[in-house]
């Protein structure tokens, strides 16, 4: 039997593509799927393709499923579905009416109820594969992931640097690696204290496989609170996860999501760690891409 085919419509944003690839790769771990990627068309071209039922990509095998994340993918997703007859799945709360898509995969912080066509995930899907078993060697490795300015939290480089110093100096048994991101302020690294147990890797020195490899090796991960995707990736990798403290926008959905994870004892806030000296253990790593893949395959078999 030949492989089934999944198309991924991309908008050029690595974070969105990471979500779609994560789901497609999870599908391929269950059943034989070949994965093909195509760029989103400009909205006017996608509209014409939809009207005339023309596939937005040539030379690709006919899809059994079409995935996309990001508002810019919506029109191409719909055009591709209309042209090929394949079901569409959008990995977000779409800006267009949800009924236009066959399936929606929506994170909990978007406050959408699950139904026969809607899957609600804990955070965004990702490409991290949960570990098959605990590895004691990971206890000696730690990872610190730094985001930057966002609408969700009030960024303060000095506050984050102070918290990093506290974590590193209070865990002498751990060798730490710190990575920045594209959003990290340019002066942030200069504010960090020099610590023998801390290795610093700027985001410009990391490739696409760097973070998954680091997450697989680290037993503890600390994350700045502005990126819930980094938090869910660390939880998926099986690490114990701490979240640094910054003032939160009370209307932020990301803030709500982190509060729910903290209340569920999935992550530990810095202030809680200071009081107790330990992180909540991650005894059940997230596996949202695999869980979503199983749901989606069951839906496809029913239709």
Q: What is the mean pLDDT of each run of 10 residues along the chain (303 residues)?
A: 88 92 96 94 82 80 95 94 95 92 93 93 91 87 95 95 96 96 92 92 90 95 92 96 95 89 96 94 95 96 81
Are 117 and 196 part of one and the same domain?
no
**140 shares its domain with 272:** yes
Q: What is the residue range of 54's domain?
A: 4-125+288-302
- Would residue 281 count as lying in a domain? no
In a domain, 89, yes or no: yes
| Angle at CA of residue 95, ends 94 and 96, nearest 5° | 90
Decide if 90 is inside a domain.
Answer: yes
Number of domains in the chain: 2
Q: Give yes or no: residues 191 and 101 share one domain.
A: no
How far apart CA 237 and CA 138 sit, in angstroms, is 11
* Position 283 in a domain: no
User: What pLDDT score does 29 carry?
Assistant: 95
30's CB contacts (< 8 A; 6+ apart) are 290, 293, 294, 297
- The residue count of the chain comes to 303
Tell me which H or E stretch contains 222.
strand 220-223
Query: For residue 137, what are the contacts with CB-CB under 8 A and spacing of at least 6?
Result: none
106 and 191 share one domain: no
**252 and 120, same domain (yes or no):** no
- Are 14 and 82 in a shared domain? yes
The first and second tokens of residue 254, run together, are 């990301």
**Is 131 part of a structural domain of the chain?**
no
194 and 173 fall within a common domain? yes
pLDDT of residue 1: 53
In this structure, the answer to whether residues 171 and 201 fall within a common structural domain is yes
In terms of domains, do 169 and 41 share one? no
Main-chain phi, psi angles of 98, to 5 degrees: -60, -25
The predicted structure's pLDDT at residue 296: 97
Residues 163 and 224 in one domain: yes
CATH code of the domain covering residue 179:
3.40.50.2000
In a domain, 189, yes or no: yes
DSSP state letters, 112-158 = ---BTTEEEESS---SPPPPSS--GGGGGEEEEE-----SSB---HH
8: in domain: yes
Distance CA 95, CA 88 (A): 15
Residue 64 within any structural domain of the chain = yes
Task: Please tell me what DSSP assigns to residue 255.
Answer: H
CATH number reported for the structural domain that contains residue 106 in this entry: 3.40.50.2300
Please check whether residues 95 and 142 belong to one and the same domain.
Answer: no
User: Is 145 in the same domain as 251?
Assistant: yes
């Amino acid at each position: 039997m030949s492989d089934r085919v999944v198309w991924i419509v991309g908008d050029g944003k690595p974070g969105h593509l990471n979500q779609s690839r994560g789901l497609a790769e999870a599908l391929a771990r269950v059943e034989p799927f070949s994965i093909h990627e195509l760029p989103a068309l400009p909205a006017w071209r996608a509209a014409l393709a939809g009207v005339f039922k023309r596939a937005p990509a040539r030379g690709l095998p006919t899809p059994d499923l079409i995935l996309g994340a990001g508002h810019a993918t919506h029109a191409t997703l719909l055009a591709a579905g209309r042209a090929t007859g394949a079901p569409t799945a959008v990995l977000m709360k779409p800006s267009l009416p949800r009924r236009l898509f066959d399936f929606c995969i929506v994170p909990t912080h978007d406050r959408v109820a699950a139904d026969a066509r809607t899957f609600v995930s804990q955070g965004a899907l990702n490409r991290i594969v949960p570990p098959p078993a605990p590895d004691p060697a990971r206890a000696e490795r730690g990872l610190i992931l730094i985001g930057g300015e966002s609408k969700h939290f009030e960024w303060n480089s000095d506050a984050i640097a102070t918290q990093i110093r506290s974590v590193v100096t209070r865990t002498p048994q751990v060798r730490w690696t710190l990575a920045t991101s594209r959003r990290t302020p340019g002066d942030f690294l200069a504010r960090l204290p020099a610590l023998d147990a801390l290795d610093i890797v700027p985001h410009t020195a990391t490739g696409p496989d760097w973070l998954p490899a680091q997450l697989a090796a680290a037993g503890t991960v600390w994350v700045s609170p502005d990126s819930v995707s980094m938090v869910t990736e660390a939880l998926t990798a099986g690490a114990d996860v701490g979240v640094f403290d910054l003032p939160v926008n009370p209307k932020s959905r990301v803030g709500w999501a982190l509060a729910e994870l903290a209340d569920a004892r999935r992550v530990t806030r810095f202030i809680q760690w200071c009081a107790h000296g330990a992180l909540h253990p991650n005894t059940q790593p997230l596996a949202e891409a695999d869980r979503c893949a199983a749901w989606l395959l069951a839906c496809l078999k029913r239709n």
